[in-house]
Amino acid sequence: MGRQEIRIFSRVKPTGKEKGIYSIGNEEAGSSFLEVVVPRDLSDGFINNKRESYKFRFQETFDQDVKQETIFDRIAKPVAESVLTGYNGTIFAYGQTGSGKTFTITGGAERFSDRGIIPRTLAYIFEQFGKDSSKVYTLHVSYLEIYNECGYDLLDPKHEASKLEDLPKVTIMEDPDQNIHLKNLSLQQARNEEEALNLLFLGDTNRMIAETPMNQASTRSHCIFTIHITSKEPGSAMVRRSKLHLVDLAGSERVAKSGIGGQLLTEAKYINLSLHYLEQVIIALAEKNRSHIPYRNSMMTSVLRDSLGGNCMTTMIATLSVEKRNIDESISTCRFAQRVALIKNEAILNEEIDPQLMIVHLRKEIQALKDELAMVTGEQRAEELTEEEIVRVEQQVGAFLEDRDPESTLEIGADMRKITYCFAFLKKLLNEQNKEVICASSLGNERPGSSAAQPQEIQKLRDLLQQRDNEINILVSMLKKEKKRTQDRLLEISSPGLNSIPSTLEGRDVISSVEGGFRSLASSGVLDELEIRSREQSFNSFHRITGNDMSVGRQEAFEIFKRDYPDRVSIEDNKRLLKQRFAEAKSLGEEVNKVRTRINQLKGEVEQRRIQRAALGVSGSTDELHQYDRVEEELRLQMEEEKKRYKSLFNHLKNLKTEIEHLQLLLERAKVKLQKDFEVWWSQEAAHAQSKQEVPLRRQSESTSKIHYQIRASRLSDSPIPLTGDSQTDADILAFVRARQNLMQRKGK
């Protein structure tokens, strides 16, 4: 791609006032300028030599009304496209505290349209993955936080930390080629957009945020969200690896202006020091003939070594707060951006050969060269082939003949003894095949319609019938169990004598349910002897049977097994509890949003109260400014109470999240255990049915045929089901009818 300069953009934070301080214009295609006008300060005197306007050039300047979607399309989308093709990319935001860096990179949480560059980039990358089917893509993410010059892994897979100190510390290691490696920084694979966003949200919850006089939710650390992409074409040994750094720098701030102290003061010192080292690196890179670049001064500049003067396409976003009190910091940010624009990076395509495929290819090439060398030298072997070598050659020839791939090859090496034996063996197989064809043609005159493939298909039919017979035996055993369960209910409805049984089966509903049950039973594989014989003679019906899918009979057995499963009650309780916890989490989330809105409202009222007092102090006496304001104090107390409530609700919501994830894990494990237990039970029942299929299966088939005949006869005559007179058969009819009725009722529910 060649050397190219770092692209710089500027974005003005929406303030709603003081728009006369700056102006935006376009000088030529592909660039724009931002002019900042410094308001005159009367305290400096009427005549002073201070500069009143500054003009800076950017690739594009975004005003206050520009939406997040436009920012992504103009800035991040071109970089994401180059990363998909195999180039490294970096996007970082620079500016003072409260100028909108985190909002630009990560986005806001109130509206879906406020998504920042990171979630939109993830959505765009996975969308391109789905469109491009010519390559196989793999995506991993990492999230590094640099707080007080110490690195922390925000995506620790072992646990979710409650404190920053609980997270694993990341250290920098450098190899002899001066490549940077980050120890203890985990790479998490994301298979879809949802998993990637969950990792982003997990990292944001662990990030260090504090309230300062300049910003209510100030990020007190530098964060680098890195997307690693690997692409490979199927069958190719070439692999492309690229990475995209999305950097949210902590905001610079003047300690004298913010008036902070304690821990916030320590954080501000480290932040300003790391940004100072970043500026030193930028100045050194912009200077020509500079031999030493101070990358090692800070951890952030060491991590971003490739992004600043290396193999990377880098883009900078300068965020500006153009209020009168922040005009000096905005001018300083623009000056820094102008120095960054002087740096040139050389991005190259990151392609490499897959080591495993290369090893296999080299081994094949070495063996081929050895065989070719042996053939050229004419090395003769006096000994004959051993029995093992003969068996191996015959197996290779047989596998070659059975392989339907037209591009398959027979690889037996360059040994002339093996080559000669292969030709002799192939000739022998061809002669035997010709003899079989002659015999089949002579037999075909006596028995027309026979073919060489008939025995194989007959064997397949027998195997299929064996499988169906096993299913029939399992269903029959289950029907006997259902008969025992429904016998007590039956005695309550009907009289003890067998002659009164037909009266309980009168009515169209019972007959229709029985007919439906027999239709379902027939579709699941319970066929009479005539149908079995017809299946042995029909090859077309065999090809329509899908033995790999779960049959209807097996599905019905699974439903009954699930109903009697010992852990069914606990599974249902966990489902009900999970639903309840979801409802509680939703209610808590709404309550948290309401409390946060109330806090912002109270804060606005306090600010408004202060502005009013300041205005009264200007117009009246200065004593009013120092008087005790009871209303303001009450508002501050209310705000403190709301903050405590917000923290309590947020902790409760976090605990609910942990409980929901635990319940989901329990349900998933129960589902897997249920499937495994059913497979074990089904295999045991099938083995038991197969061992006793000869005599009991014939009896059961005759009994089933009698039941089938009785049901169909009653349907044609539109009368109650007549019984056979055999007490065992009549009891089976009644038990089967009741079992099918119960099963149909459960399915209806």
Q: Find, among 279, 280, 260, 278, the residue nearest to 268 by Cα.
A: 260
Residue pair 723/730 in contact (Cβ under 8 Å)? The answer is yes
Q: Find, among 513, 521, 522, 531, the residue nearest to 721 by Cα.
A: 513
Q: Tell me whether residue 617 is annotated as binding.
A: no
Helix or strand holding residue 147 (H, E):
strand 136-147
What DSSP letter does each residue of 50-81 carry, written as one string?
Answer: ---EEEEEESEEE-TT--HHHHIIIIIHHHHH
Residue pair 54/36 in contact (Cβ under 8 Å)? The answer is yes
Give the CA-trace dihedral at 99, 102, 106, 108, to 10 degrees.
-60
Phi, psi of 321 (to 5 degrees): -115, 100
Q: Find, among 337, 282, 298, 315, the residue nearest to 96 by Cα.
A: 337
User: What one-letter code names the amino acid at 214?
Assistant: M
Q: Tell me whether residue 553 is annotated as binding.
A: no
Q: Tell me whether residue 344 is annotated as binding.
A: no
614: Cβ–Cβ under 8 A, 6 or more apart, which residues? 625
Q: Give the separation between CA 12 and CA 327, rounded to whole angstroms.
A: 12
Q: Give the separation between CA 385 and CA 710, rounded to whole angstroms.
A: 71
User: What one-letter code names the amino acid at 114?
Assistant: D
Q: Tell me whether residue 537 is annotated as binding.
A: no
- Could you tell me the two tokens for 705? 């045929």
Residue pair 204/197 in contact (Cβ under 8 Å)? The answer is no
Residue pair 236/178 in contact (Cβ under 8 Å)? The answer is no
Which letter does DSSP use for residue 288 in this model? T
Q: Give the separation between CA 325 and CA 315, rounded to whole angstroms.
A: 28
Q: Tell me whether residue 96 is annotated as binding.
A: yes
Beta bridge partners of 120: none
Q: Give the separation between CA 83 and CA 384, rounded to whole angstroms.
A: 60
Task: Provide the b/e sequence for 651-671 (b: ≥16 CB within 10 Å).
Answer: eebeebeeebeebeeeeeebe
Q: Tell me whether residue 102 is annotated as binding.
A: yes
Q: Tell me whether residue 97 is annotated as binding.
A: yes
Q: Give the separation between CA 146 and CA 187, rounded to whole angstroms.
A: 17
Residue 241 half-sphere exposure toward CB, CA atoms < 13 A: 7
Q: Tell me whether residue 612 is annotated as binding.
A: no
| Cβ neighbour number for residue 504 with a 10 Å cutoff | 17
How many residues are listed for the chain in this entry? Answer: 749
Q: Find, among 79, 86, 44, the residue nearest to 59 by Cα.
A: 79
Counting Cβ atoms within 10 Å, is residue 608 exposed (0-12), middle (13-18) or buried (19+)?
exposed
Phi, psi of 219 (to 5 degrees): -80, 120
For the chain, how far is it from start to end, CA to CA, in angstroms?
Answer: 65
Q: Find, among 145, 269, 254, the residue nearest to 209 by Cα.
A: 145
Report the binding-site residues: 95-102
Known binding residues for ATP are 95-102
